[in-house]
Structure 1
Amino acid sequence: MEKQQRFKRVIQYIEEHLQEEVSLEGAAQAGFTSLMQLYRDFYAHTGHSVKEYIRKRRLSNALSLIRCSDMPLAEVAYTCGYSSQQALCKSVKAAVSMTPLEYKRSGVSYYFPRYDSLSAKQVTVAAQTLPATVRAAFYHSRLSGIEEQAIAALQETLPDYRGRVFGRNGKQQGSRFYYWIWLEYTPEAVEGLLAGRMFKGVEVFPELSLTGAKVLVRNDEPEIGRAWNYLYTDWLRSSMFTQAPEPYFEEFLWRNGRVNRLALVLPVMKRTDYDRISLIRSPGMLFLASTREGPHAEKEASQAVMGFLAVYNPSAARSADTFYIAKNGRACTCGVKLEEKLPLPSGGGLELLELPAGSYAVLETDCAGDSRVLEERLEAWVQDNGLRRSSRPAFAIYEAQGGYTANHITTTCRIQLEHVKNG
């Protein structure tokens, strides 16, 4: 078994036991390694000790529940593996310098992702202030390595410059690529860039304040690429933020005259279409359902259900106001809520689908868009919070209130959970 695969088994074991006291011996056994080797491997893979990783993952899960659910703090502590509500509050205070209630109301966001690959990085969302800067463009015939070429050109042009340096890729112009460099504004920086021959389009910009999601990475081009991909895809998709209009940028962090790390900053803002996520105890529900496959599966499945009701139970068809949709690859299951069971013909492609009473993670929205987008958000939230889900796939419930236009439809995406308490 490859070393990386063994380590993923360790991570899986830890994630499955975050709600209780994690046995490090059990984690080592899951990865077919010794406890001492586990300590070494963990730091080599994640940059954290195994105990620090467990602490940060629990805290990240707890803060997400505090922000996105109405669970009492005692239940959050229980769900996330804390010994008591007091232990949870102490951990939150130490990490973000706020009480749980202050964090819930604040614009600060703490997120420490589950480690699944080398691209996973800790993300910090906070206010960022960029000083007044002077910007110039560095042109090159190749995109690969253009940042290093731009920094080398900067050191040659301004060898005595010691201020902050920011950068980002520009658009391709013909066969040439360019990279923007920002320097803290000084008259000397402006004069040096204007006098040099390697930078073009020198401009001065005022101080800028924004909210940024920041990741620190080594000055290594493949790692930088993985980190940007992680920010834009995995993290942004599962966060409460969307990309802000300000451009992304990289800040070069120097040590002994060399760039050894970069801070990648993605400007973000809270989503205006904020989706409320909560944990609920739902009663059982009964649906008349049909499953179809292919490019028109949803349309064909819904027509099969409504067509049957129109013939055999017209009153149920006229009063239908709650609908079920679950997608799995090319297959789609559609259903209409029933108050009681109906006799069904054999071979008609219809079924009575019973959703059991139990605990569910629910994402609420007033948007009647593609349910798969909602499912992806909820799936990520459930995973990041260490919750245990049942084998039933995620599904969406559409409820029509006074009409069937978008303004009258509310949508909830649901995932059935195991062993979750709710107050």
Structure 2
Amino acid sequence: MNKSARFRQSIDFIEEHLYEDIPLEQAAQAGYTSLMQLYRDFYTYTGHSVKEYIRKRRLSGALGLIKTSQLPLAEIAYSCGYSSQQALCKYVKSATRMTPLAYQKSETCYFFPRFDSETIRQVTVTSETIPRTIQLKFYYPKQRGIEHQAVAALRTLLPEYEGRIFGRDGEPREGLFCYELAVEYDPEVLNRLAGSLGQELTEVPEFCSTFAKTAVRSDESEIGLAWDYLYLKWLRTSMFVQDDGRYFEEYLCKGGEVKKLLLYLPVRKRMDYDKISVICCADSKFLVSSREGEQAEEEASAAVLKVLSRHHPELIRTAREWYVARNGMIYTCGVRLEQAIELPADSGAEVLLAAAGRYAVLESSSCSDREAFTALLDAWIQENGWSKEDLPAFTTYETGGQAEPDAITMRVWIRLKDVKNG
């Protein structure tokens, strides 16, 4: 049995005893592992501590009952593992900023799904002190391979250096790409770097922060995939958001060669949650175009913009809501229409109607991974007793307009049947 299968057994044990006083030692034993390893595995697989996972799962179940049942609060509290009605009210208000009664009457729904996926990379979350360093900037005409060129140049200057080496992308200058290196502070090292490769030397004081970290072998494509995983997968489903401060990498060398890199992403605990609502909507119309293939989304979006620029350029300036739907390798992209428009028959675009009805909608200011949002909304629909229409989900992106041009709200929409469990 592999590690992920053993972890699933621990998850199964926790879910079976979710509303009881869970002995975590037994949860670890269910997965044939130690308690300390279980703690580490929870961060790796779910991005949550084991206690945070249990707390959120219990609250998710309790809020589902508050929203959909007529049970008294005290009964919900005891059935979901809370010591009292007051304890449940405290957690509800902490998570939703509403009382249970206000939450019941609101359109917003809180949901935290059961973990049901496999990790790709080992991720740890730890508070770590980064030592005082000397930062230098390396410029190069090509972006690809700039990290290796920078480290090689540093090794030429400091062949005997055995301290820690950090790096991250810098700001381009005069047509050259930049990579920033940092080495542990030492007066002798500072003197050797001054006036050589180390142009724009900066001393950076010691600092401490919380990081999500993962190791990756020294391969450019692997490093890119690892960063994508941290940002688009792990961070998206974890209990953390990116903190102030920039990411960076640490080079792990052996025999003078870089063997692995440690990726550091500064994080902090998230204080908000993605909003799920059930709302009744009027008809909505979108001007759309569809394409198929690896670049389908980009091509479909470009086709719509081309039609608008040719026939209705004023809509490009006023458009605030954009549409994306996927069916296999076919992408349909478009823009919301506030009024009827005329198009020539050969325009390559069409008007799509999103019919009036009841929709489950997940809203977030994060625009990273539509598939993850759709899966989350699907899980919420199933767990809360709704049935969905046999129609594809779609996503809209709404900009903040002139007041907040950089603000984007993403919403995933799934059409529901009018009757629950229908």
Q: So what's the TM-score if we normalise by structure 2?
A: 0.50
TM-score computed with the length of structure 1 as normaliser:
0.50
